[in-house]
Amino acid sequence: MDVAEDLAGQLDFGPKFEQGLRLMLDAIGEAQNEAAPPLAPQQMALDLRDLAKLRGRPPFYPYLGAGVGRGARAMLADGRWVLDFALGIGVHLFGHGNLDLIETAIRAAASDIAMQGNLIFNREYFLLMQTLMRYAPRGMDRCWLALSGADANENALKIVRQKRGGRPGVIAFTGCFHGRTSAMAEITDRPDYRLGQPSTFPVHRVPFFNRHEPDSAATTLATVRDVIRRDGDGVCAFIAELVQGEAGFITAPREFFVPIFEECRRAGIPVWVDEIQTFARTGELFATDLLELADYVDIITVGKALQGSAVMHREGFAPDPGLVSGTFSGATVAMAVGRRIIEKLAGEGYLGPAGRIRQLERMTRAHLEELSRKHPGAISEINGVGAMLSFRIGNGSLKATRAFIEKCFRAGLVLYYGGHEPACIRLFLPAGDLTDAELAEAFEILDRCLRGA
């Protein structure tokens, strides 16, 4: 679909609007180079202190964005510029201030409502669903929009439970993360994220792939078989991240998943793939397609880079109408921008083995390897795929990893971590806009920070 056809899906406000919009976009483009910071440094520090009081805890780093950015760079409220490789934990795949996305957002913001729902909706609701489903893995017939990843996962859980006659249990991987609602916190493999919460249903944990253990795949398969033998009849689904996120960006090969999913199929247990983190970031829109697993998957959830979330499933999983709904289906701007992101990824050379995302992966790996040669012992465990890559700093102690991230932040590079003990640094590449020079600059900062480490 070309841009003209794309814009045909949006409301035509006439020539006055188009003229104003052009002026506005010019002004925004200029401001990206010349905007004055909204706050003095002391005021930003005071605001962050007051914010910490309101939240009941300080922010992870002293980041308060000005609202101005260009590509991988964002301006902080006090005027400092940073390179953002955290992206709100993987949300801003096109970085900051992308004028195409801002134009889409302005057009959507000019429509009559800020929020859309499941009873009354405008065309953005339909167009987003239609675009998402156009590129969805084979076999996905239906979708339902929601706001957060955890919302989509809650809907998925209800759908698989209904399909399985109310069976409550779930099989999940060790190290998994599926969100922070009550049910998702129970499935997520982080007891410290559910302190004081009751356990209300069985969660059977099977080990995720470990590339250092030759028997890893066989051990997991044997554990899955054992769980199915013991409690397969009490289980509603097997839930899987195909690339683990919160645990560090940990990949597994297709051959790891296929026998597990086949085993589930034989036992009548639906396979649910959580692509909330992987959506749009592995070099394909769906990791399910990257690993060619579509034939095994019954239900998929997406979020983050979509700017909202959705559950998609096979026709046979259609829920009873009363099961899944809610007031909101998304913000109008987020829906339009989410759809534009899909169109840009699919139409502008980002996907596939030769696409920009995999190209950036290869360049980032080369930078990491060079850095590891320069600083022997400082960098190890390079992992991940596409725009999600990770590595360990030193022995991976959480304290040292966080201290290194703080140091990089002060030097102008925003990073985030994953895993626990050992922890890793996760690089969320703003692959939609990242230039080769900006990537090199990020690695110069890493190099400087390692030298002083």
Ligand X SMILES: Cc1ncc(COP(=O)(O)O)c(C=O)c1O
Nearer to ligand X, 150 or 335 (CB): 150
Per-residue HEC secondary structure of the chain comes to CCHHHHHHCCCCCCHHHHHHHHHHHHHHHHHHHHCCCCCCHHHHHHHHHHHHHHHCCCCCCCCCEEEEEEECEEEECCCCEEEECCHHHHCCCCCECCHHHHHHHHHHHCCCCCEEECCCCCHHHHHHHHHHHHCCCCCCCEEEEECCHHHHHHHHHHHHHHHCCCCCEEEEECCCCCCCCHHHHHHCCCHHHCCCCCCCCCEEEECCCCCCCCCHHHHHHHHHHHHHHHHHHHEEEEEECCCECCCCCECCCHHHHHHHHHHHHHCCCCEEEEECCCCCCCCCCCHHHHCCCHHHCCEEEECHHHCCEEEEECHHHCCCCCCCCCCEEEEHHHHHHHHHHHHHHHHCCCCCCCCHHHHHHHHHHHHHHHHHHHCCCCEEEEEEECCEEEEEECCCCHHHHHHHHHHHHHCCEECEEEECCCEEEEEECCCCCCCHHHHHHHHHHHHHHHHCC
Q: Which of residues 75-94 bind ligand X (CB under 6 A)?
A: 89
Among positions 62, 179, 355, 418, the unique one binding ligand X when judged by CB under 6 A: 179
* Sheet (strand 142-146) strand order: 142-146, 309-313, 299-302, 271-275, 235-240, 169-173, 203-206
Nearer to ligand X, 76 or 160 (CB): 160
Please, are residues 162 and 129 in contact by the beta-carbon 8 Å criterion?
no
Least distance in Å: CB of 150 to ligand X?
Answer: 3
Nearer to ligand X, 78 or 274 (CB): 274
Q: Which two tokens stand for residue 54?
A: 């309101």
Q: Which of residues 123-152 bind ligand X (CB under 6 A)?
A: 148-150
Nearer to ligand X, 277 or 364 (CB): 277
Nearer to ligand X, 148 or 359 (CB): 148
Q: Which of residues 150-169 bind ligand X (CB under 6 A)?
A: 150, 153
Residue of minimal Cβ distance to ligand X: 149
Least distance in Å: CB of 154 to ligand X?
Answer: 9
User: Which span (68-76, 109-117, 239-247, 440-448) binds ligand X, by CB under 6 A?
Assistant: 239-247
Number of H helices, E strands in the chain: 15, 17
Nearer to ligand X, 76 or 183 (CB): 183
Least distance in Å: CB of 187 to ligand X?
Answer: 10
Nearer to ligand X, 228 or 250 (CB): 250
Least distance in Å: CB of 44 to ligand X?
Answer: 26
355 binds ligand X (CB under 6 A): no
Nearer to ligand X, 150 or 236 (CB): 150
β-pairing, 416-419 vs 423-428, is: antiparallel
Nearer to ligand X, 98 or 244 (CB): 244
Among positions 69, 95, 137, 245, the unique one binding ligand X when judged by CB under 6 A: 245
Q: Spell out, one character per residue from 270 to 309, where the chain touches ligand X: x when CB under 6 A holds, - when not.
A: ----x-xx-------------------------x------
Least distance in Å: CB of 180 to ligand X?
Answer: 6
Q: Which of residues 310-329 bind ligand X (CB under 6 A)?
A: none
Least distance in Å: CB of 294 to ligand X?
Answer: 19
Least distance in Å: CB of 149 to ligand X?
Answer: 2
Nearer to ligand X, 279 or 443 (CB): 279
Least distance in Å: CB of 182 to ligand X?
Answer: 13
Please, are residues 285 and 346 in contact by the beta-carbon 8 Å criterion?
yes
241 binds ligand X (CB under 6 A): yes
β-pairing, 413-414 vs 81-84, is: parallel
Please, are residues 261 and 293 in contact by the beta-carbon 8 Å criterion?
yes
Least distance in Å: CB of 364 to ligand X?
Answer: 20
Q: Which of residues 377-436 bind ligand X (CB under 6 A)?
A: none
- For ligand X (CB under 6 A), the number of binding residues is 15
Q: Which two tokens stand for residue 425?
A: 């640094």
User: Which span (48-56, 68-76, 172-180, 430-438) binds ligand X, by CB under 6 A?
Assistant: 172-180
Least distance in Å: CB of 49 to ligand X?
Answer: 26
Least distance in Å: CB of 72 to ligand X?
Answer: 21
Nearer to ligand X, 274 or 343 (CB): 274
Residue ranges binding ligand X (CB under 6 A): 89, 148-150, 153, 177-179, 241, 245-246, 274, 276-277, 303
